[in-house]
Amino acid sequence: MPTLEGSVESIVFRNEDNHYTVARFRLNDRGRLFRDDLTTIVGALPGIHVGELLTVEGEWENDPRYGRQLHVASFTQRLPASTDGIIRYLSSGLIKGIGPKKAQLIVNHFGEQTLAIIEQQPERLSEVRGIGAKDRDQIIKTWAEQSEIKELHLFLQSHEVSINVATRVYKQYGKESISVIRENPYQLAQDVHGIGFRTADDIAIKLGLPSDSLPRLLSGLKYVLTQAANEDGHCFLLERDLVRRAADILQAPQATVLAAIEQSRNDPEIFIEPAPVDTQEVELAQDDDDEVAIPAQRIYYGPFWYGESGSARLLKRLMQSESCLPPAPQQLWENVFSQLKQRRNMHLTEKQQTAVKMAYGQKVCILTGGPGTGKSTSLRALLLLLRKRKIDVALAAPTGRAAKRLTEATGTQGTELQAKTLHRLLEYAPHDNSYQRNEHNPLPHQFVIVDEFSMVDILLFYHLLKALPSESHLLLVGDADQLPSVGPGNVLRDLLKSEAIPTVRLTELFRQAQQSKIIVNAHRINSGHMPSMKIEATSDFFFMAEEDPIRAQQLILDLVQRRLPARYRFHSQTDIQVLAPMYKGPVGVSILNQKLQERLNPDAAAQIEWGDKLFRVGDKVMQTRNNYDKGVFNGDVGWIRRINRDDSTLNVEFLEDAGPLLVSYDFHELDELVLAYAVTVHKSQGSEYPAVVLPLFREHRMLLQRNLLYTAITRAKRFCVLVGQPYALELAVHNDRVALRNTGLLERLLLLCQGGTKTLV
């Protein structure tokens, strides 16, 4: 990276929220022929002012509008030393009310010592004629604020924290930034996106915190438990696993980690429980030359413990409470089903009728089944009855996409009963990371229906249960054979295994569904049979064999760009979604996104390079983490509508349950977005696409599982094509091992609901 030294001559543009700055820069290059030439520097440049001396490092770029400029990656500041530089610095707008005249008065009095006096003896400003008490106080206040910003950035840059991340730190903590970091640098990993435990740990060690200090070890344990939840879906870790992971990450002896776990019993955010009897073995772990005994205990990070224990407790309370619904005699049901058949042409099977009656008669119940088995028809029938009896009902789903599908499936478009996301239903408040609907302010509804429940993790389920009045009803609808939630837990599977919740499982494929090879083959795969490979001109399901991943990549690109649009009239960008099991490799998400962007959106009106990413107007993008301030969540897909270099922002349009949502991103927030021409199967949950293209290869072996293949195929609404090796397809179909997650909800339900309501149908 080129490094330049010089002075700031003028500030062309500054965004006070994200510190994106465009400045004119005079180089200190005395060998230049034209010394008056100015260079443009751009980037996150917090706290810089006219007259300051800078050393900047970055990359040259050619902006179509502004020409050649240096995009700054890092910089260091030095205060001006000459009297002319000091005058320009003080009158640059740095201090409100101080212009060139007053700056000249101060410098005439103190000369080259002006800035040192402001820094060390600001009370001496009273000596200057023409500088009143108000001016003096304003200078002292502004100088202190600027010093805080500069000190923070110098401090974090010395620890190799980027300017963009440092900007986030200041935005999070403001003038308290340095004190927060010094008191507990590990707070950064919890509060600031872009700073992980390892960066915080590096800062802590450089600050002199001993590697075996209890604050470091406890923060490390919480980090490992959180990482296990976010990456593996675990609600807890067995002590032996926690010791191994923490010892590796913290580079500490296992005995030291064990001692920290024992100390954590006094920490209100860590919970330790004995493991069930069948895992009560005591394991001997090797620690240098000593063997360390590690008892079998479950270690929880607080939120997940409360989520599990609270969910079980609240479920029991809900199930045992009185219902608010009026009774429904048998004669009523006969009339209802007869009228549905005659007036609505809705022919409910015996199991569907059982599902509707069960949902009305039980406080909590589950409706599960694969595609084409009639879950939506059952819901429509139930909703007709509830609305006829004037029962207040709410429809919800985990994501905006799933909520939109639920609204369409139940025929509630244009009514007050349109489905909402669970976050919207529970009135999530981003400013304090809380739900406004809770046990103190419950939902007003008598009946709540949640669709796509396999996507709901333990934390969201707990918050839903807290918000339900004890007299209300809850119906959970989902497909237990799909992938589990992205977040921690395996809630739907645990509820079904416990047999504590009345459940109806729909299995019969309706005649219309039998016409779809997508649905038929999804059910074949789910039962462990290979999909039908018979080629029919009218088929909506194809397998295209290709052994070479590079040739498969070209085939996928051709299918998306040319073949499917030409043959089936699909739109390349809006109708076709490429799904892949993994990110890496020639048929992984990363390279496919790059290649598809080149093919489908090569000539955009504007583009921005940020890190290793290239975004263009018109690109399809996905949000990669929950951002409650913006109201967008992990997995939400949208389209880039505008890139504005003037104010360093990018606008993305998302389709939410309440309609289109235009979200603005500062450039330093672009690490929250990725291209979404291709996405992982996990990220596709809750979505439905007109056409799906799915590569399957041996290099995906670690993730080739039946529930992943089943989930991918059932995302396709009208067309599905698999591209890859027959062996990889066979491997996925026959691999029914579900990645195990550490959850205790099943045991808690069994303990609380012994002798439960085993009414599986």
Binding residues for ATP: 372-376
Residue in 488, 418, 406, 429 with CA at minimum distance from that of residue 455: 488
CB 459 within 8 Å of CB 304: yes
Can you point out the beta strands (E) in 520-658? 541-545, 576-580, 607-610, 613-616, 620-623, 637-644, 649-656
Distance CA 721, CA 539 (A): 10
- What is the token pair recorded at 91? 């009158």
Bridge partners, 272 (sequence order): 299
Quick one: tokens of 409?
């499936």
Do 300 and 221 meet the contact criterion of CB atoms below 8 Å apart?
no
Q: Which residues are annotated as a binding site?
A: 372-376
Phi-psi region of 659 (alpha: psi -120 to 50; beta: other; left: phi over 0): left
In single-letter form, the type of residue at position 174 comes to G
Query: Does the CA dihedral 203-207-210-214 come out positive or negative?
Result: negative
- DSSP assignment letter at 562: I
The phi, psi pair for 162, rounded to 5°, reads: -65, 160
- DSSP H or E stretch at residue 571: none
| Four-residue CA torsion sign, 26, 27, 30, 33 | negative
Strand partners for 666? 649
- Give the integer Cα–Cα distance in Å for 294 and 236: 16
Mode of pairing for the β-strands spanning 236-238 and 290-294: unpaired
Instruction: Region of 501 please: left (phi>0), alpha (psi -120 to 50) or beta.
Output: beta
Task: Give backbone dihedrals phi and psi of 340, rounded to 5 degrees, phi first.
Answer: -60, -40
Kindly report the CA angle at 681 between 680 and 685, in degrees rounded to 5?
Answer: 120
| Three-state secondary structure call for residue 719 | strand
Please state, in angstroms and rounded to a whole number, the distance separating the CA atoms of residues 197 and 176: 20
Dist. CA 339–CA 347, nearest whole Å: 10
Element (H, E) at 477: strand 473-478
Residue type, 556: I
Name 607's bridge partners. Answer: 616
Count CB atoms within 10 A of the CB of residue 507: 11
Determine the Cα–Cα distance for residues 458 and 469; give it in Å rounded to an integer: 19
Six-digit token string for 427: 């009135």
Interior angle at CA 458, CA 453 and CA 461, nearest 5: 55
Cα–Cα distance between 448 and 468 in angstroms, integer?
8
- Decide the pairing of beta strands 607-610 and 3-14: unpaired
DSSP structural state of residue 486: S
Output the six-digit token pair for 232. 């593996």
User: What string of DSSP letters covers 368-421?
Assistant: EE-TTSSHHHHHHHHHHHHHHTT--EEEEESSHHHHHHHHHHTT-TTSTT--EE
**Exposure string (b/e) for 35-57, b if CB count within 10 Å is 16 or more?**
eeeebbbbbbbbbbbbbbbbebe
